[in-house]
């Protein structure tokens, strides 16, 4: 009996945890070991004793809400990013919404952001009471294009996304913001650990927003988020907003909500944070292998950036859907981030601009494909991904094979 692919719902995304195929599976030739897009079980198995002890510590303490685990993790994470303050919240979306509310923008303020990212970025702007204004992306980095932002005549804030671990051009965006008297708030959900020079992603704007969704570079065992800032007043407002606007017990200065980082999640993240640099190094090694192995193949690969955290490794090809089908047939999981830009999503129709408004973002959505990349990924799986891509490219051009693939490593 063949086990079907096993998936686990762990939040707003469907995350593949294990994938088993065999010779009886349709579309697979012979006995093949499946290659997951992401495998959280391997990471948690390696940390089993530490995680068990951390979770047990919380349960036995009876301190379940904003206890010592959250406060300690806030201090540790602020030190990692290089910010004075860190405020733990319930998710990356909470981080965005609360940051926008805490930074002093007036109701109806216009906030410039990217149309090529997850929906949370733009939806947070609307939920906070502001107006999303889209600007097209840079064709190389896929992050917000400063030249396109500069063309927008009127706005009060810029919310750049550090996409797939690549940092947006903060120096240029900060210059534009200063000239307009506008704020910069960073969406660093996909870029925990990325750098631009000596600065960590999230540390340059008035606030930096992080997600600890399980698939992120630093992921919890559920939802979680963090806001970092150097502004003590912004940090004070964030702490109030995450707890129904309370400045002290039963005194509510503003309307807030229940947006706190869970004590259990903080305990898990404290176990994981000391391993993050090692995990980022492994992501870079995999990205380097992909970049080297796909050189000259006919795919568009990301520009190499040693300081990037490589939350995703995305290639681009006009025949993207055929390549994806080819890889899936071979048990190689891959995904499309993102198949439709935000300005063409129904929920953003009032602010979108319609088809053709942001051609670079639209082209990226048609051509992009994300390959498996996670710290525990075996080298033999990296090799098989490359082999699968090259077999597809060679089928498209039999006269001029793009690569002769060497023997596969054992691990």
Question: What distance in Å separates the CA atoms of residue 266 and residue 289, rounded to the nearest whole number?
Answer: 33
Q: How many residues appear in the chain?
A: 411
Token duo for residue 253: 């200065």
Alpha-helical (H) ranges within 343-378 are: 349-352, 359-367
Cα–Cα distance measured from residue 404 to residue 411, given in angstroms and rounded to the nearest whole number: 20
SS3 of 334, please? coil
pLDDT value of position 32: 56
pLDDT of the residue at 396: 83
CA distance 9 to 23: 27
**Domain spanning 48-274 has what CATH number?**
3.40.640.10
**Model-level pTM?**
0.89
Residue with tokens 């906070």: 128
SS3 323: helix
Strands 157-159 and 313-316: unpaired
Q: 112 and 152 in contact (C-beta within 8 Å)?
A: yes
CA distance 259 to 18: 31
By the 8 A CB rule, do 386 and 406 touch? Answer: no
- From first to last of its 411 residues, what are the pLDDT tens digits of the chain? 223 333 333 332 333 333 333 333 333 334 457 999 999 999 999 998 999 999 999 999 999 999 999 999 999 999 999 999 999 999 999 999 999 999 999 999 999 999 999 999 999 999 999 999 999 999 999 999 999 999 999 999 999 999 999 999 999 999 999 999 999 999 999 999 999 999 999 999 999 999 999 999 999 999 999 999 999 999 999 999 999 998 888 889 999 999 999 999 999 999 999 999 999 999 999 999 999 999 999 999 999 999 999 999 999 999 999 999 999 999 999 999 999 999 999 999 999 889 999 999 999 999 999 999 999 999 999 999 999 999 999 988 774 455 444 555 555
* Residue spans per domain, the chain: 48-274
pLDDT at res. 401: 53
């Amino acid at each position: 009996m063949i086990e079907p692919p096993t998936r686990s719902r762990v939040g707003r995304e469907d995350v593949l945890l294990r994938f088993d195929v065999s010779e009886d599976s349709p579309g697979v030739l012979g006995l093949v070991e499946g290659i997951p897009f992401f495998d959280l079980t391997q990471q948690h198995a390696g940390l089993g004793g530490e995680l068990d002890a951390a979770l047990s510590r919380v349960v036995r303490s009876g301190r379940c809400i904003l206890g010592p685990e959250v406060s300690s993790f806030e201090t540790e994470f602020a030190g990692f990013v290089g910010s004075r303050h860190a405020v733990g919240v319930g998710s990356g979306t909470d981080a965005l919404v609360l940051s926008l509310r805490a930074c002093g923008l007036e109701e109806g303020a216009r906030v410039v952001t990217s149309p090529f990212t997850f929906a949370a970025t733009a939806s947070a702007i609307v939920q906070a009471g502001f107006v999303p204004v889209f600007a097209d992306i840079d064709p190389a980095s896929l992050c917000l294009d400063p030249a396109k932002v500069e063309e927008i005549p009127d706005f009060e804030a810029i919310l750049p996304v550090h996409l797939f671990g690549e940092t947006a051009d903060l120096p240029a965006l900060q210059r534009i913001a200063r000239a307009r008297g506008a704020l910069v708030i960073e969406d660093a959900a996909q870029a925990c650990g990325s750098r631009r020079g000596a600065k960590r992603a999230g540390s340059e704007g008035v606030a930096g927003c992080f997600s600890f969704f399980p698939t992120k570079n630093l992921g919890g065992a559920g939802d979680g988020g963090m806001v970092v800032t150097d502004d003590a007043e912004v940090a004070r407002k964030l702490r109030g907003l995450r707890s129904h606007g309370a400045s002290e017990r039963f005194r509510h200065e503003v309307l807030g909500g229940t947006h706190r980082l869970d004590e259990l999640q903080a305990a898990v993240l404290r176990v994981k944070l000391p391993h993050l640099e090692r995990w980022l190094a492994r992501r870079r090694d995999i990205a380097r292998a992909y970049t080297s192995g796909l050189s000259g193949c006919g795919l568009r690969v990301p520009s190499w950036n040693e300081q990037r955290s490589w939350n995703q490794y995305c290639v681009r090809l006009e025949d993207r859907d055929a390549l994806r089908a080819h890889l899936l047939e071979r048990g190689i999981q891959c995904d499309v981030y993102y198949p439709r830009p935000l300005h063409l999503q129904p929920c953003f129709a009032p602010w979108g601009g319609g088809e053709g408004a942001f051609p670079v973002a639209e082209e990226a959505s048609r051509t992009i494909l994300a390959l498996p990349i996670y710290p525990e990924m075996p080298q033999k799986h990296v090799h098989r991904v490359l082999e699968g891509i090259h077999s597809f490219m060679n089928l498209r051009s039999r006269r001029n094979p793009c690569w002769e693939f060497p023997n596969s490593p054992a691990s």
